Chain A
């Protein structure tokens, strides 16, 4: 007011900040930050509800400030409260206390399960902390005082009512001093931190003494102190039999005993107890001085009688979980750079000239055009002899996988090879199985881009994973892969379909490796059909049809049931040869334009409805056509790149159409062969019916006739359809050049497979393994039914589908997924551990069981769970028993080893032990004791305002802390 009424003094006063010291600058910087954060002035908020500090949201803001060149970090921690109704609070009057001082007395949030230590100690909902930014520490007393003074000045200058603390000494000591200012009042926050608990402060009476002496109240009769006490007991020593899960007997697996080993099943669970500690807190929330006695000879504080019990569990930090280990070990493979050959030494084929030659000869035999009597060779015996060769060469002890393990895996992967002894397997049955179970996890495998869960690819992924973990790591993986590729080659060479793959073209929703295998199957299917067709015609000509064999063969021909219209394509050389052998036909093809009716129709598939050729009574036949080439996604990518590269110009478009017209041309040729004397109009009526426009016209005689013609666009001169039609020769599909060169494609796939390194395989198959792991945790979760886990699994699925959809996902993201799965596994293991410990299964009364189950699930999800009925409740009784058992165990072991000198040390609070016996409690000594003392008294003079005083103390084995907040009236001092 004075300044306003006297403006002149302001005008002529020069304020000089040029000589401001570092200290002044520091203070103004603090003030600036407090201003920026809008912490100035009084704020009135509702007192926090019970337990709100735990349930609500805490936030923090931070900034950096300098004191000379020493960097401090200033941080504002605050509890987010809804804006409350102003009127409610405002009637408390002008000289209401700062919020922080009110908080000192609030008992609603004593002992919060999770909170900043200052919240735990002082019950504050908002505060600012200034601490050294780096790993420095403010240690000297004068520096501490300087900081404290700075705060004091800053608070005074700004009128900020939020308490500000300074962290002093080493950070781990969590030592803070601070101050809070309000109108005419201030609170000093002080702290004592010691390693040992001084004997006189071991109990409540000693603490009360120090509290009162600190207050130094001038009153002769003090009001009685309000007390809250919590004792915490820690149970670490679970008896071993409480943990139900036994790690799998790895030795048995390694020893070659594979009988009991189930491939395709992922392991699950923690190998060690995922719950490391149980903390029991017994709380007396509201006691009054004088009601209870707790001194060095006697204590009323019997934990069994405490009105409130609550429990928390400490989870083992990184419990070893088998599924998680499995996944991470597999993922680790992706960083190995070695190729299969490097890992296994030179390929067996190359070293073993003579024996290897057999196999390569087999290949050349098969690629010869003449039909090969394949069925004389027993497929499985060939496979096995080849394996024996490799093994013989490598030496049994050298090969990473033992015969038994390898055979077991191969039989698991190729269940049909047991049946293979010269006759074909039954792919139809496997196809049926795959389609049935596909529906169930259809979305999952397509989301993750893995493979159906009963597919060969999926099983292979699991086997590689298992081999990696149990049987020789990366070398084992290389070995199995080599065998797998070998088997693939055999299947190609022997026309033996690969089991466990859905038929048809590669499924682009699956991983590339799966597509490649499907592609190989397509090749095998076509080659087999061709060979069978040839064989059959050979047999037919010999008049010696083997009934059973042709029957089996027939079931493979999905597209045709009649033998004479069998679809077959020949390679280029064959075509040449054949066309040379059939000069008649060739010449006939040449002059078909002149003498169409002479031609014998060929390659008819079926009649196309009741259509007849234009201008004749001949029915229009749909020809047998070539199947389009199946494509894997990489081929497709390549092709579309080529097509896209042609650009968007007219020539480009033309060229593109030409490149793709092979299929059209082939269809036209087949059509011509099936319908001698046909025209383009006929073809269009079958192929693109909308391009044949029919109109009702009245002719000269007045009759309504249907007149048809090609559409406008088909009549454009020299359009590609006309062009193709003119060049097309009447050739049935089976004598056309193959659109899909299965030999070449199969060799490409086999080569691709052969050059995959173990690391590449990992990348290919990781989606399958993740898929399997997710199914596994889902399955395990249903047993336990934990809602939060259910939710998490959903999140993981959606997250990983985003990551895995794109080629070459980030390592970091993949690791994330694995970690998430591991966390879920650990949570489920914890649930199991807790259920076993609390014996939910053993519980007989249904309502007790339900309560107990609810209690256990709360333990997993909430930081601290109250026990209904405290020590007398059902859960309370169980916990009490646990402590008793643990006691008995340690005592008996103590007796057994008398010479333990640390014994004294362990039981150091011996006085409390004695007291325990006195009070008749059978609990061990508490691991921690927390006591909060509160009082409202005038200070410093009897006529001062009555202000909140508080002291929090915590006593543990090697930590003693007193945190006091003492307020005083500053009006007249």
Chain B
């Protein structure tokens, strides 16, 4: 089992407090929903192996607390992440309005610039929606992110969100290969171009 795992990916879930980050994760890893899930303290961590395009990838998913005060603590965990899921609550506009702050945070603390970002609008099962799907779509386009709406409660879109993200990471060259040394494609050497070293070729007389 362990052998055919292509790579281990580090994925981060961020967003304002109470938007359902831990619930999304719980839905994805254990396929359950717990309406009484305690507020996360600091960071939490879960592992799941999934298959995408015939590649098995082990996901180490770091769930973070959304409270302002914890924000001084959690960015240290951004280091080395290949993917990030940015969650907002479609029934609370303020959680959508804060997305810019989260992106700034990501920009500041993330150690790589090619990290794959996914925007998830959670709690679409609720009736009192405040953020339209198109608004989320627009935001995601503006910041070149993946976008999906989901509900951890009804499981809509959850599995799909994680799979999309992983697929995108695997398709991004240089994002994960060098981590698992020896595997994957090597950088093609830049030379070898015409007119370089001569193999039986002479340049003069």
One digit per residue, 1 when the CB lies within 8 angstroms of any chain A CB and 0 when it does not, for chain B 11-35 equals: 0000011100000000001000001
A633 within 8 A of B: yes
Q: How far is the CB of A670 from chain B (nearest CB, A)?
A: 11
Sample of 13 further A-B pairs with CB below 8 A, known A116-B200, A656-B45? A58-B194, A120-B202, A279-B204, A508-B79, A628-B73, A659-B42, A661-B41, A688-B18, A688-B67, A690-B18, A712-B36, A716-B38, A719-B39
The answer to whether A232 and B39 touch (CB under 8 A), given A631-B76, A688-B67, A690-B17, is no
The answer to whether A657 and B29 touch (CB under 8 A), given A57-B194, A114-B203, A806-B179, is no
The contact sample of 6 A-B pairs, CB cut-off 8 A, is A120-B202, A644-B60, A653-B45, A657-B38, A690-B18, A719-B38
A795 within 8 A of B: yes
The answer to whether A660 and B39 touch (CB under 8 A), given A115-B201, A648-B29, A691-B17, is no
A713 within 8 A of B: yes
Chain A residues with Cβ below 8 Å from B60 are: 644
Chain B residues with Cβ below 8 Å from A691 are: 17-18, 39
B50 within 8 A of A: no
Chain A residues with Cβ below 8 Å from B70 are: 663
The answer to whether A711 and B18 touch (CB under 8 A), given A643-B43, A716-B36, A721-B39, is yes
Interface residues of A (CB under 8 A from B): 57-58, 113-117, 120, 174, 232, 279, 312, 446-447, 449, 508-509, 625, 627-628, 631, 633, 636, 640, 643-644, 646, 648, 653, 656-657, 659-661, 663-664, 667, 687-688, 690-691, 711-714, 716, 719-721, 795, 799, 802, 805-806, 863, 928, 930, 954, 956, 959
| Number of A-B residue pairs with CB-CB distance less than 8 Å in the complex they form | 124
Q: Which residue of A lies closest to B39 (CB)?
A: A713
Chain B residues with Cβ below 8 Å from A664 are: 41
Which residues of chain B from 173 to 187 have a CB within 8 Å of any chain A CB? 174, 178-179, 187
B104 within 8 A of A: no
Q: Which residue of B lies closest to A688 (CB)?
A: B67
Q: Which of A449, A640, A646 meets B77, CB within 8 Å?
A: A640
Q: Which residue of A lies closest to B109 (CB)?
A: A508
Question: In terms of DSSP, what is the predominant structure of the interface of chain B?
Answer: loop
Q: How far is the CB of B142 from chain A (nearest CB, A)?
A: 21
Q: Which residue of A lies closest to B48 (CB)?
A: A648
Q: How far is the CB of B89 from chain A (nearest CB, A)?
A: 9
- Contact (Cβ within 8 A) B39 A628: no
Chain A residues with Cβ below 8 Å from B205 are: 232, 928, 930, 954, 956, 959
Chain B residues with Cβ below 8 Å from A117 are: 200-202
Q: How far is the CB of B114 from chain A (nearest CB, A)?
A: 10
Chain A residues with Cβ below 8 Å from B159 are: none
- Contact (Cβ within 8 A) B38 A688: no
Chain B residues with Cβ below 8 Å from A687 are: 67-69
Identify the interface centre among B29, B40, B41, B178: most chain A CB within 10 Å of its CB: B41
Interface residues of B (CB under 8 A from A): 16-18, 29, 35-47, 60, 62, 67-70, 72-73, 76-77, 79, 92, 109, 111-113, 174, 178-179, 187, 190, 194-195, 198, 200-205
Complex CA gap A664/B69 in Å reads: 9
The answer to whether A667 and B69 touch (CB under 8 A), given A114-B195, A713-B37, A713-B39, is yes
Chain B residues with Cβ below 8 Å from A657 are: 38, 40-42, 44
Q: Which residue of A lies closest to B60 (CB)?
A: A644
- Contact (Cβ within 8 A) A644 B45: yes
Chain B residues with Cβ below 8 Å from A720 are: 38, 41
Complex CA gap A117/B47 in Å reads: 62
Chain B residues with Cβ below 8 Å from A643 are: 43, 45
Complex CA gap A648/B47 in Å reads: 7
The answer to whether A795 and B190 touch (CB under 8 A), given A116-B200, A663-B42, A928-B205, is yes
Q: Which of A115, A279, A656, A863 meets B42, CB within 8 Å?
A: A656
Complex CA gap A446/B107 in Å reads: 12
- Contact (Cβ within 8 A) B195 A805: no
- Contact (Cβ within 8 A) A663 B73: yes
Complex CA gap A721/B65 in Å reads: 13
Q: How far is the CB of B66 from chain A (nearest CB, A)?
A: 8
Chain A residues with Cβ below 8 Å from B37 are: 713
Chain A residues with Cβ below 8 Å from B77 are: 636, 640
Complex CA gap A187/B70 in Å reads: 85
Q: Which residue of B lies closest to A795 (CB)?
A: B190
Chain B residues with Cβ below 8 Å from A644 are: 45, 60
Q: Which residue of A lies closest to B201 (CB)?
A: A116
The answer to whether A633 and B79 touch (CB under 8 A), given A279-B204, A508-B111, A690-B16, is yes
- Contact (Cβ within 8 A) A660 B43: yes
Chain A residues with Cβ below 8 Å from B69 are: 625, 663, 667, 687
Q: How far is the CB of B113 from chain A (nearest CB, A)?
A: 8
Chain A residues with Cβ below 8 Å from B68 are: 687
Complex CA gap A631/B78 in Å reads: 13
Complex CA gap A653/B205 in Å reads: 75
Q: Which residue of A lies closest to B16 (CB)?
A: A690
The answer to whether A636 and B36 touch (CB under 8 A), given A114-B195, A691-B17, A863-B195, is no
Q: Which of A279, A661, A712, A802 meets B35, CB within 8 Å?
A: A712
